[in-house]
């Protein structure tokens, strides 16, 4: 287990930026409440369909995306709800997508694993482990060829570190010095398979460095640590300095998918260790304890987020399913 | 007099004209220029692609738009998909179609399905240009390129919804279909038969398109319809000449587009001739040839006056030995025999 400090590591510059703190907090809570609501809807039987929850990892998506502009690109994974929300995708349209409704981000044709919103640079999630990485690489190549200063981010997990494709992309990103940030969310498990079994070294950053890509390892349950390291990576990318690799050590609280019981492959003690380092609680202790935000402000955000999620569920439930004619539309552009 | 051009130069001209017309068109692949990064030593454009089809483009458009990739088809074709959904129109060269074995995921699960999965939010204007076919080298001297560098395999692409797939048969259709593929907003697999690369034909200099989704009737006839794909269209034309000597008028349809399939032209032709022979260098199971036969069975069976015949490669990988390779590929003799057989029945 990583040596995670129990407190988040906010420096005085960050603690002085109340607007940023509110935004980080709201997005982390928005992701958590969205995911908890999806879980409850699945448990009650009101909702069906494949879904992989992001609970526990919120600080990674939020810390990374807080450094991005609206038109920067993100390629996501099967566990992508957090990335989408952090990139600015509307939660009502996301919820409608999970309900398979016409009003969903993908008009009901993608579901949880493919949520995308091209308007905010969310290129979409992919259900094939590692397959989003070359998409982000291509977006970075596209940005540079078109002469923009956009940056692309590839989110992937420790499971993807077993896919050869990721190493092809590390190599290409370096030889072409592309504005790309590899964000490896190491949550300890590829489906049910522990990382210490599946990867021959714990030092994932060293793998990137072997390709000539600057790399760092951060406590992914500390949003300030992620935000800080991501700032360096984005500055490098936008400044023409090429790719970076960020290993964010984190943990998912639920199983691989909704319905997977993680106690079949991990202990209660291990779960307790990470829950004691919960990213939202650590954030709250850091900012309230040091007087950067008042607790009442956080509670007000909690309430607003709660209303937003309930409105999203109502929007989804009241939306129409796709018309049968949609079955064969958008197979081709023409 | 009309200008003649080599098939591979017709492709080169299509790429050059489209890259001049549209700055978002880029070319990427292994050795599309070759000898990359050694301009300071006087090396540039060492290969210009394995068939020379991309020769000269890097001098005109530079390494930012003519991108030599490392050997990593899954990675660079995945990147081409990512570039296609973010404002570029990449032409990704898959050196030989057999290499689809290492990159079907970005072609199918990403490139072909993205638009549908995302509810129409994005288009994927991507061309995958690939070489197909047996080498046709002299049977008495060694052999060809064997199983992993000589396949046709286009039925894999025709099977995938979201993909289009075309196979030109001469320099004219090579240029026109490649330009059409580049301008198309969907992913198109462009299959270039390696034996056609050195053939010559009339090619207009000004840019033009050959429509994707349309077959072309090359020779009218009223007794039997011969359908050819890529190099097999020439085999059909030769068979039609021989059949004429036997008093049989064969109609030759050049399929050109394997997906979408031009069912109307096929059905209309068989309605007139009552007989069908489909000639395909690909292996027979789940093939384009059998698909054409199934369309006719479904839509024109009442007009058939004999069994549908398919002349294809055997259900075997492509062999190395020149003697075996020659026996592997459909010949005009086999097409003539199949046509006479369906006319006799």
Inside any domain, residue B106 = yes
Same domain, B192 and B221: no
Please list every residue in chain A whose beta carbon sits closer than 8 Å to the beta carbon of residue B25.
none
Same domain, B118 and B146: yes
Same domain, B295 and B171: no
Task: Encode pLDDT of B199-223 as tens digits.
Answer: 999 999 999 999 999 999 999 999 9
First CA to last CA distance, chain B:
46
How confident is the model at residue B1, as a pLDDT? Answer: 63
Structure tokens at A192: 């049910």
Inside any domain, residue A5 = no
Inside any domain, residue B336 = yes
Contact B86 A331 (CB under 8 A): no
Cβ–Cβ contact B189 with A under 8 A: no
Contact B118 A124 (CB under 8 A): yes
- Count structural domains, chain B: 2
How confident is the model at residue A321, as a pLDDT? Answer: 96
Q: Which domain holds residue A186?
A: 17-316
Same domain, B266 and B196: no
| Per-residue pLDDT at A4 exceeds 70 | no
What's the rounded mean pLDDT across residues A49-68? 97
Inside any domain, residue B287 = yes
Question: Cβ neighbours of residue A89 under 8 Å, at least 6 residues apart?
Answer: A105, A115, A117, A120, A122
Same domain, B140 and B237: no
Inside any domain, residue A298 = yes
C-alpha B317: how far from its chain's center? 19
Tell the residue number behind the tokens 């940056």, with chain if given.
A151
CATH number of the domain that residue A222 is part of = 3.40.50.970
Cβ–Cβ contact A333 with B under 8 A: yes
**Quick one: residue B62, left, alpha or beta (phi over 0 = left, psi -120 to 50 = alpha)?**
left
Residues A103/A151, Cβ–Cβ less than 8 Å:
no
Angle between the A132-146 and A164-175 helix axes, to the nearest 10 degrees? 20
Cβ–Cβ contact A110 with B under 8 A: yes
* Residue B149 annotated in active site: yes
Task: Encode pLDDT of A89-129 as tens digits.
Answer: 999 999 999 999 999 999 999 999 999 999 999 998 888 99
CA of A214 vs chain B CAs: smallest distance (Å): 20
Same domain, B254 and B155: no
- B202, B229, B264: which is the final residue of a domain? B202
Please list every residue in chain A whose beta carbon sits closer than 8 Å to the beta carbon of residue B116.
109, 330-331
Angle between the B288-299 and B263-273 helix axes, to the nearest 10 degrees? 60
Angle CA(A181)–CA(A187)–CA(A189) in degrees, nearest 5? 120
Question: B247 has which bridge partners?
Answer: none
Task: Encode pLDDT of A251-309 as tens digits.
Answer: 999 999 998 999 999 999 999 999 999 999 999 999 999 999 999 999 999 999 999 99
Taking only residues 214 to 253 of chain A, the set having a beta carbon closer than 8 angstroms to any beta carbon of chain B reads none
How confident is the model at residue A8, as a pLDDT? Answer: 77
Inside any domain, residue A332 = no
- Count structural domains, chain A: 1
CATH number of the domain that residue B309 is part of = 3.40.50.920
What's the rounded mean pLDDT across residues A155-173? 97
Best residue of A138, A144, A156 to probe chain B, by most B CBs closer than 10 Å: A138
Tell the residue number behind the tokens 């069976």, with chain if given.
B301
* Residue B11 annotated in active site: no
Residues A46/A258, Cβ–Cβ less than 8 Å:
no
Nearest to A247 by CA among A287, A199, A280: A199
| Per-residue pLDDT at A2 exceeds 60 | no
Q: Residue A326 CB: number of other CB atoms within 10 A?
A: 16
Same domain, B37 and B108: yes
Same domain, B178 and B36: yes
Cβ–Cβ contact A40 with B under 8 A: no
Inside any domain, residue A331 = no
Inside any domain, residue A306 = yes
Cβ–Cβ contact B159 with A under 8 A: no
CATH number of the domain that residue B21 is part of = 3.40.50.970
Quickly state the pLDDT bin for A6 (edges 50, 70, 90). low
CA of B102 vs chain A CAs: smallest distance (Å): 10
Phi, psi of B18 (to 5 degrees): -70, -35
Give the DSSP H/E element, type plus range, for residue A306.
helix A295-318
Same domain, B158 and B67: yes
Query: What 8-state DSSP symbol labels residue A302?
Result: H
Q: Which domain holds residue B154?
A: 4-202
**Quick one: residue B64, left, alpha or beta (phi over 0 = left, psi -120 to 50 = alpha)?**
alpha
Residues B51/A132, Cβ–Cβ less than 8 Å:
no
Q: Which residues of chain B, if any, have pLDDT below 50?
A: none
Picking from A128, A143, A330, the nearest residue to B105 by CB comes out as A128
Inside any domain, residue A7 = no
- B178, B202, B226: which is the final residue of a domain? B202
How confident is the model at residue A334, as a pLDDT? Answer: 84
Chains A & B: contacts with CB separation below 8 Å:
149
Same domain, B221 and B300: yes
Inside any domain, residue A333 = no
- B169, B202, B235: which is the final residue of a domain? B202
Helix (H, G, I), strand (E, B) or coil at A67: coil
How confident is the model at residue A5, as a pLDDT? Answer: 54
For the sheet containing B250-254, what is the strand order? B216-219, B250-254, B224-228, B276-280, B309-312
Nearest to A85 by CA among A110, A62, A102: A62
In whole numbers, what is the pLDDT of chain B averaged over residues?
A: 96
| Per-residue pLDDT at A199 exceeds 80 | yes
Same domain, B198 and B228: no
Same domain, B40 and B159: yes
Best residue of B25, B61, B82, B163 to probe chain A, by most A CBs closer than 10 Å: B82
Quickly state the pLDDT bin for A12 (edges 50, 70, 90). confident
Inside any domain, residue A323 = no
Nearest to A178 by CA among A226, A239, A232, A122: A239
CA of A9 vs chain B CAs: smallest distance (Å): 35
Contact A139 B86 (CB under 8 A): yes
Contact A331 B115 (CB under 8 A): yes
Task: Encode pLDDT of A206-241 as tens digits.
Answer: 999 999 999 999 999 999 999 999 999 999 999 999
**3-class SS letters over A129-196:** CCCHHHHHHHHHHHHHHHCCCCCEEEEEEHHHHHCHHHHHHHHHHHHCCCCEEEEEEECCEECCEEHH
Quickly state the pLDDT bin for A7 (edges 50, 70, 90). confident
Taking only residues 92 to 151 of chain B, the set having a beta carbon closer than 8 angstroms to any beta carbon of chain A reads 105-106, 109-110, 114-123, 125
Question: Cβ neighbours of residue B240 under 8 Å, at least 6 residues apart?
Answer: B219, B221, B226, B250, B251, B252
Task: Encode pLDDT of A70-92 as tens digits.
Answer: 999 999 999 999 999 999 999 99
Query: What 8-state DSSP symbol labels residue A6?
Result: S
Taking only residues 126 to 165 of chain A, the set having a beta carbon closer than 8 angstroms to any beta carbon of chain B reads 126-128, 131, 133-143, 145-146, 152, 164-165
């Amino acid at each position: 287990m990583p040596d995670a400090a129990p407190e988040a590591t906010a420096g005085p510059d960050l603690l002085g930026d109340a607007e940023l703190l509110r935004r980080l907090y709201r997005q982390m809570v928005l992701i958590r409440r969205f995911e908890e609501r999806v879980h409850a809807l699945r448990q009650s039987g009101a909702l069906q369909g494949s879904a992989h929850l992001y609970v526990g990892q919120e600080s990674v998506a939020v810390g990374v995306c807080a450094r991005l502009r609206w038109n920067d690109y993100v390629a996501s994974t099967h566990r992508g709800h957090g990335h989408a929300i952090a990139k600015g995708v509307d939660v009502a349209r996301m919820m409608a997508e999970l309900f398979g409704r016409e009003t969903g981000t993908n008009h009901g044709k993608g579901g949880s694993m493919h949520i995308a919103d091209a308007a905010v640079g969310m290129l979409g999630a992919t259900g094939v482990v590692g397959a989003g990485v070359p998409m982000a690489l291509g977006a970075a190549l596209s940005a540079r060829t078109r002469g923009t200063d956009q940056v692309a981010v590839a989110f992937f997990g420790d499971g993807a570190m077993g896919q050869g494709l990721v190493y092809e992309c590390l190599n290409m990103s370096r030889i072409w010095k592309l504005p790309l940030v590899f964000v490896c969310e190491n949550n300890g498990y590829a489906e049910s398979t522990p990382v210490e079994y599946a990867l021959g070294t714990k030092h994932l950053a060293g793998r990137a460095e072997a390709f000539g890509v600057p790399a760092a390892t951060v406590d992914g349950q500390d949003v300030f640590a992620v935000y800080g390291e991501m700032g360096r990576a984005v500055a490098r990318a936008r400044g023409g300095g090429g790719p970076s690799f960020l290993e964010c050590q984190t943990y998912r609280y639920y199983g691989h998918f909704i319905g997977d019981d993680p106690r079949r492959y991990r202990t209660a003690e291990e779960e307790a260790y990470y829950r004691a380092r919960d990213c939202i609680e650590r954030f709250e202790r850091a900012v309230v304890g040091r007087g950067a935000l008042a607790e009442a402000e956080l509670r007000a955000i909690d309430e607003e987020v709660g209303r937003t999620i309930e409105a999203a569920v109502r929007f989804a439930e009241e939306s129409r399913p796709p018309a049968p004619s949609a079955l064969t539309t958008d197979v081709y552009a023409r | 007099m009309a200008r003649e051009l080599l098939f591979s130069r017709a492709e080169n001209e299509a790429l050059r004209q489209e890259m001049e017309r549209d700055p978002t068109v880029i070319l990427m692949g292994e050795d599309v220029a070759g000898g990359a990064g050694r301009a300071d030593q006087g090396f540039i454009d060492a290969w210009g692609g394995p068939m020379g089809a991309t020769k000269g483009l890097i001098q005109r458009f530079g390494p930012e738009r003519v991108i030599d990739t490392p050997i990593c088809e899954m990675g660079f074709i995945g990147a081409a998909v990512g570039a296609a959904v973010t404002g570029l129109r990449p032409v990704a060269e898959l050196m030989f179609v057999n290499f689809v074995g290492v990159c079907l995921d970005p072609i199918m699960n990403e490139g072909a399905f993205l638009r549908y999965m995302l509810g129409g939010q994005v288009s994927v204007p991507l061309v995958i240009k690939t070489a197909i076919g047996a080498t046709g080298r002299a049977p008495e001297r060694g052999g060809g390129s064997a199983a992993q560098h000589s396949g046709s395999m286009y039925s894999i692409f025709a099977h995938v919804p979201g993909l289009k797939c075309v196979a030109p048969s001469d320099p004219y259709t090579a240029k026109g279909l490649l330009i059409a593929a580049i301008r198309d907003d969907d992913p198109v697999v462009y299959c270039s038969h390696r034996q056609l690369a050195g053939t010559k034909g009339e090619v207009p200099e000004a840019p033009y398109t050959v429509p994707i989704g349309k077959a072309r009737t090359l020779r009218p006839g009223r007794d039997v319809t011969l359908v050819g794909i890529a190099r097999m269209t020439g085999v059909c034309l030769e068979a039609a000449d021989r059949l004429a000597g036997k008093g049989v008028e064969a109609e030759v349809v050049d399929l050109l587009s394997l997906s979408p399939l031009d069912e109307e032209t096929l059905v209309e032709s068989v309605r007139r001739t009552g007989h069908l022979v489909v000639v395909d260098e690909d292996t027979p199971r789940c093939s384009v040839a059998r698909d054409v036969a199934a369309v006719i069975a479904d839509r024109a069976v009442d007009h058939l006056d004999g069994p549908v015949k398919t002349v294809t490669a055997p259900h075997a990988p492509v062999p190395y030995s020149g003697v075996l390779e020659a026996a592997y590929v459909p010949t005009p003799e086999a097409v003539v025999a199949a046509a006479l057989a369906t006319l006799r029945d």
